[in-house]
Amino acid sequence: MELRILGCSGGIGTEMTTTSLLVDGDILIDGGTGLTELELDEMKAIRHIFVTHSHLDHIAGIPMLLDSVFDYIREPVVLHARAETLRALKDHIFNWQIWPDFSCLPSADAPVLRFEEMKPGERIQVGNRSIEMIAVNHAVPAAGYRVQNGVGSFAFSGDTTSNEGFWTALNRHDALDMLIVESAFPDEDRELSSKARHYCPGLLAADLKKLRHRPQLFLTHLKPGSEERIIDQCRDQIEFLDVQRLCGGDRFTL
Residues 4 and 104 placed together within one structural domain of the fold: yes
Reported residue count of the chain is: 254
Neighbours of 91 (CB within 10 A): 12
Nearest to 50 by CA among 110, 152, 122, 133: 133
pLDDT at 210 (0 to 100): 97
pLDDT at 114 over 90: yes
Q: Is residue 253 part of a domain?
A: no
Chain-centroid distance of CA 95 in Å reads 23
Across the range 125-154, mean pLDDT stands at 97
pLDDT at 17 over 90: yes
pLDDT at 150 (0 to 100): 85
Nearest to 145 by CA among 177, 123, 127: 123
- What is the domain range of residue 164? 119-245
pLDDT at 32 (0 to 100): 98
Domain boundary among 96, 117, 138: 117
pLDDT at 235 over 90: yes
Q: Is residue 254 part of a domain?
A: no
> Which residues touch 79 (CB under 8 Å, ≥6 apart)?
48, 49, 51, 62, 86, 89, 113, 114, 115, 116
Across the range 242-249, mean pLDDT stands at 96
Rounded to whole angstroms, how far apart are CA atoms 113 and 106?
10
CATH number of the domain enclosing 236 = 3.60.15.10
Rounded to whole angstroms, how far apart are CA atoms 242 and 218?
9
User: Per DSSP, what are the bridge partners of residue 13?
Assistant: 16
Residues 123 and 240 placed together within one structural domain of the fold: yes
Rounded to whole angstroms, how far apart are CA atoms 250 and 193?
26
Count: domains in the chain: 2
Categorize the per-residue pLDDT at 81 as very low, low, confident or very high, splitting at 50, 70 and 90.
very high
Residue 92: exposed, middle, or buried by beta-carbon count in 10 A (0-12, 13-18, 19+)? middle
Residues 125 and 214 placed together within one structural domain of the fold: yes
Rounded to whole angstroms, how far apart are CA atoms 253 and 1?
6
Across the range 209-233, mean pLDDT stands at 97
Cα angle for residues 33, 39, 41 (degrees, 5° grid):
125
State pTM to two decimals: 0.97
Residues 67 and 87 placed together within one structural domain of the fold: yes
Nearest to 190 by CA among 178, 205, 201: 201
- Which DSSP state fits 165? H
Rounded to whole angstroms, how far apart are CA atoms 203 and 194?
9
Contact 105, 94 (CB under 8 A): no
Residues 143 and 229 placed together within one structural domain of the fold: yes
pLDDT tens per residue, range 183-211: 999 999 999 999 999 999 999 999 999 99
Across the range 147-173, mean pLDDT stands at 97
pLDDT at 223 over 90: yes
Q: Is residue 191 part of a domain?
A: yes
Neighbours of 109 (CB within 10 A): 6
